[in-house]
Amino acid sequence: MFHSSIVLAILPPLSLFTAAGADSPSLSIENIKFSSYYLMVSPSAQGPRQGLLDFTLINSAVGVAIACSAKNSNSFAIFSPSISYECDFAPAGGEVRDDDWCWTNSATFNFDTTEPKVYNLTVQMSWSCEK
């Protein structure tokens, strides 16, 4: 059994890097949806507001898409880098199998929009493989 982990960072020109070894899997972030709304009730009163981020994380070693999402109620969809969000994946591992296979141990991300016109997404993922 071996354990691997990867950290992805996406900055306004898209850049991906891995912290794994030479046999690094291919990783992708797909179906990115970022939206926000801010409703003014009157000139002096704020109404509802919300920011949403959804994306799919795909690691070729694991072979199962992982859904990630975040929601906040800050003005103008300002996401703080100090908040970690958990991605949704099916836990696995420890089963006895005859084939080589990998499973996700953890997948979290941080999203930072505190600097104007900069959207910094940091994904942290670890997985294990049985060979």
- Report the SS3 class of residue 91: coil
Beta-bridge partner residues of 30? 56
Look at residue 16 in the predicted model and tell me its pLDDT: 40
In angstroms, the Cα distances linking 45 to 36, 38, 48, 93, 116 are 18, 11, 10, 51, 24
Look at residue 95 in the predicted model and tell me its pLDDT: 62
The pTM of this model reads: 0.70
* Helix, strand, coil in percent for the chain, rounding step 5: 0, 55, 40
Look at residue 22 in the predicted model and tell me its pLDDT: 43
- pLDDT in single tens digits along all 131 residues of the chain: 444 444 444 443 333 444 444 467 888 999 999 888 777 777 777 777 788 999 999 988 888 889 999 998 876 678 888 899 999 987 665 566 667 778 888 899 999 988 888 889 999 998 888 77
Spatial neighbors of 70 by CB under 8 A, at least 6 apart, are 51, 52, 53, 54, 79, 83, 85, 109, 111
Look at residue 23 in the predicted model and tell me its pLDDT: 66
- Report the SS3 class of residue 75: helix
